[in-house]
């Protein structure tokens, strides 16, 4: 066995542009290809659709922490939503100042909290237990509080983070207990936060969870508020035939709700949002090569040189990722199961998928691979991580 088989993923970045033909000539599959330009476009779009002048964006870096992506977002003025000490440290290392990072803790240890508090990054606390322990140790400091706004939203039960079944957030009905602890330790609540789920297609649920959060963000409860943080969850289109989300209409409603809130509060607060998928999902494609065709009774199986260890969303959330046969885009349509090289039956990128005829050696492009793909990868079965290649401009003209 050579070292190649054990090699970890490589991170490669280019300032220039590429297209698929060029990338496939230069790099062996499997690899992720990211377009910086796509992320910048999405950033500029999300910044303007919520109609509020003081809006700040904190990129949920868990969706993709490629350093070049962090760098372009930093240059655009974006902040960071971090959920582990390592994410905080990477953000700081990539040049984000502590005031541009928020750490949302969930079941963190005392040690982790003291490490983060030494950095000066604001901590978003999501349980009464942590609030009590934090207050005892860090009296008189600024904090943010995460609430469970009691709305169940998101594209799969694993990624719904509100309502009666979630582990996240402080119950809205516990606000009196929160006030009592904050009073006891003179904690200054400068922000309240919610994140209802990922891939929220029903905008009315997003607005409802926003209203529920605002219902406890009263001046008599929290007189020191500087911001309200609505979390992430902005849905992106995974299926080409899916309708586009009308974000302008949504942004208008959110802006009006927030204006009314601020008028009552008596101060124009900042509005924070924490998109992950919205910024990075469409910016990435994953390139794999077919090495085995086989038939199991009626099933056409196309086996590729990667597996759920590299892109696990289909297995974990039954997620749809569009797949294009870039080597034979005009081939006759046939139905395939596109399966990986991992020793588990569920290891398929797609089942019963209509796709132009696949031949051994063909390259397939798996779309929407920029968010929660490489960042959730593992080396299960001792399969090495794939390369991640970043270009500022990628020509996504897929036919090669
Ligand atoms: N803020 C907080 C506190 C979060 O927990 C998350 C995501 C976000 C923001 C960003 O959510 P987004 O805008 O990306 O939906 N692995 C799953 C998604 C898990 C999301 C976890 N938290 C997936 O592949 O669909």
Instruction: Write out the DSSP string of 160-229.
Output: B-SSTT-S-SEEGGGHHHHHHHHHHTT-EEEEEE---BSSB--HHHHHHHHHHHHHH--TTT-TT--EEE
- Ligand 1 pocket check for 278: Cβ under 6 Å: yes
Residue 400: inside a domain: no
What are the backbone angles phi and psi of residue 35, rounded to the nearest 5°?
Answer: -110, 115
| Same-domain status, 134 and 270 | yes
Active site residue ranges: 343
Task: State the CATH number of the domain containing residue 13.
Answer: 2.40.37.10
The per-residue pLDDT for 2 is: 45
Residue 159: inside a domain: yes
H or E segment at 230?
none
Residue 8: inside a domain: yes
Ligand 1 atom 20, closest CA: 198
The per-residue pLDDT for 160 is: 85
Chain-centroid distance, C-alpha 215: 27
| Same-domain status, 249 and 261 | yes
How far is the centre of ligand 1, averaged over its atoms, from the C-alpha of 60 (Å)? 7
- Ligand 1 pocket check for 317: Cβ under 6 Å: yes
Measured CA to CA in angstroms, residue 185 lies from 76, 109, 188 at distances of 37, 20, 9
Nearest to 242 by CA among 195, 196, 281: 281
Ligand 1 atom 22, closest CA: 198
- Ligand 1 pocket check for 276: Cβ under 6 Å: yes
Nearest ligand 1 atom to alpha carbon 281: 14
Which of 280, 297, 318 is the last residue before a domain boundary? 280
H or E segment at 336?
strand 333-339
Residue with tokens 């969303």: 313
Which of 280, 307, 325 is the last residue before a domain boundary? 280
| Same-domain status, 9 and 43 | no
The per-residue pLDDT for 68 is: 94
The token pair that represents 67 in the structure block: 């350093």
Nearest to 191 by CA among 229, 152, 150, 240: 229
272 Cβ contact list (under 8 Å, min separation 6): 55, 56, 57, 58, 79, 102, 191, 193, 227, 228, 229, 230
- Ligand 1 pocket check for 169: Cβ under 6 Å: no
| Same-domain status, 166 and 307 | no
- Ligand 1 pocket check for 124: Cβ under 6 Å: no
| Same-domain status, 371 and 344 | yes
State the pairing for strand pair 55-60/284-296.
unpaired
- With the most atoms of ligand 1 within 8 angstroms of its CB, the residue from 39, 147, 276 to mutate is 276
Low-confidence ranges of the chain (pLDDT < 50): 1-2, 4-7, 400
Q: Provide the 10 A C-beta neighbour count for residue 189.
A: 21
Q: Is the dihedral of CA 224, 226, 232, 234 positive or negative?
A: positive
- Ligand 1 pocket check for 191: Cβ under 6 Å: no
Helices (H), ranges, the chain = 20-26, 36-49, 67-76, 85-93, 110-119, 128-137, 175-184, 203-216, 247-265, 277-280, 313-317
How far is the centre of ligand 1, averaged over its atoms, from the C-alpha of 233 (Å)? 6
Nearest ligand 1 atom to alpha carbon 146: 3
Q: What is the value of pTM for the model shown?
A: 0.95
| Same-domain status, 304 and 177 | no
What is the rounded distance in angstroms from the CA atom of residue 293 to the CA atom of residue 337?
Answer: 10
| Same-domain status, 268 and 307 | no
Measured CA to CA in angstroms, residue 188 lies from 112, 145, 224, 316 at distances of 21, 10, 7, 39
| Same-domain status, 54 and 185 | yes
Nearest ligand 1 atom to alpha carbon 63: 14
- Ligand 1 pocket check for 321: Cβ under 6 Å: no
The per-residue pLDDT for 50 is: 87
213 Cβ contact list (under 8 Å, min separation 6): 147, 149, 172, 192, 193, 194, 228, 230
Ligand 1 atom 8, closest CA: 232
The token pair that represents 49 in the structure block: 């659709």
- Ligand 1 pocket check for 340: Cβ under 6 Å: no
The token pair that represents 112 in the structure block: 């982790």
Query: What total of structural domains would you count in the chain?
Result: 2
Residue 315: inside a domain: yes
The token pair that represents 42 in the structure block: 């999405």
| Same-domain status, 199 and 147 | yes
The per-residue pLDDT for 396 is: 63
- Ligand 1 pocket check for 277: Cβ under 6 Å: yes
| Same-domain status, 132 and 154 | yes
Which of 240, 259, 280 is the last residue before a domain boundary? 280
How far is the centre of ligand 1, averaged over its atoms, from the C-alpha of 160 (Å)? 9
| Same-domain status, 118 and 170 | yes
How far is the centre of ligand 1, averaged over its atoms, from the C-alpha of 206 (Å)? 14
Nearest to 385 by CA among 393, 394, 376: 376
Residue with tokens 């995974």: 238
Measured CA to CA in angstroms, residue 73 lies from 44, 78, 146, 270, 376 at distances of 10, 5, 24, 19, 21
The per-residue pLDDT for 268 is: 96
The single-letter DSSP state of residue 309 is T
Domain that holds residue 244: 36-280
Residue with tokens 């009308």: 246
Q: How many residues does the chain have?
A: 400
| Same-domain status, 182 and 53 | yes
How far is the centre of ligand 1, averaged over its atoms, from the C-alpha of 272 (Å)? 15
Residue 58: inside a domain: yes
How far is the centre of ligand 1, averaged over its atoms, from the C-alpha of 1 (Å)? 38
What is the rounded distance in angstroms from the CA atom of residue 357 to the CA atom of residue 270?
Answer: 52
- With the most atoms of ligand 1 within 8 angstroms of its CB, the residue from 274, 281, 321, 378 to mutate is 274
């Amino acid at each position: 066995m050579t070292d190649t088989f054990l090699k970890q993923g490589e991170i490669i970045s280019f300032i220039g542009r590429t297209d698929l033909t060029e990338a496939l000539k230069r790099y062996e599959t499997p690899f992720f290809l990211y377009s910086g330009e796509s992320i910048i476009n999405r950033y500029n779009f999300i910044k303007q659709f919520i109609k509020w002048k003081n809006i700040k964006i904190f990129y949920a870096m868990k969706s993709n922490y490629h350093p070049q992506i962090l760098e372009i977002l930093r240059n655009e003025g974006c902040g960071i939503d971090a959920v582990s000490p390592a994410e905080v440290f990477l953000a700081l290392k990539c040049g984000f100042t502590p005031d541009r990072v928020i750490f949302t803790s969930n079941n963190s240890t005392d040690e982790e909290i003291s490490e983060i508090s030494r950095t000066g990054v604001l901590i978003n606390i999501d349980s009464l237990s942590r609030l009590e322990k934090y207050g005892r140790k860090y009296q008189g400091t600024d904090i943010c509080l995460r609430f469970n706004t009691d709305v169940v939203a998101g594209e799969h039960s694993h990624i719904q983070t509100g309502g009666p079944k979630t582990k996240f957030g402080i119950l809205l009905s516990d606000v009196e207990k929160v006030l009592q602890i904050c009073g006891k330790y003179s904690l200054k609540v400068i922000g309240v936060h919610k994140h209802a789920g990922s891939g929220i297609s029903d905008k009315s649920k997003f607005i409802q969870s926003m209203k529920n959060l605002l219902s406890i963000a009263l001046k008599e409860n929290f007189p020191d508020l500087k911001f309200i943080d609505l979390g992430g969850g902005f849905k992106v289109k995974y299926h080409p035939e899916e309708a586009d989300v009308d974000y302008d209409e949504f942004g208008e409603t959110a802006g009006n709700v927030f204006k009314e809130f601020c008028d009552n509060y008596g101060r124009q607060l900042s509005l924070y949002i924490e998109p992950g998928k919205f910024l990075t999902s469409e910016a990435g494609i994953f390139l794999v090569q077919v090495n085995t065709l086989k038939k199991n009774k009626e099933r056409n199986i196309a086996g590729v040189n990667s597996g759920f260890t590299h892109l696990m969303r289909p297995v974990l959330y039954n997620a749809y990722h569009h797949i294009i046969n870039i080597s034979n885009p005009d081939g006759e349509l046939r139905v395939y199961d596109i399966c990986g090289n991992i020793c588990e039956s569920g290891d398929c990128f797609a089942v019963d998928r209509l796709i132009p005829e696949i031949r051994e050696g063909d390259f397939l492009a798996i779309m929407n691979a920029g968010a929660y793909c490489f960042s959730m990868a593992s080396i299960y079965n001792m399969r090495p991580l794939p390369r991640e290649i970043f270009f500022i401009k990628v020509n996504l003209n897929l036919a090669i």
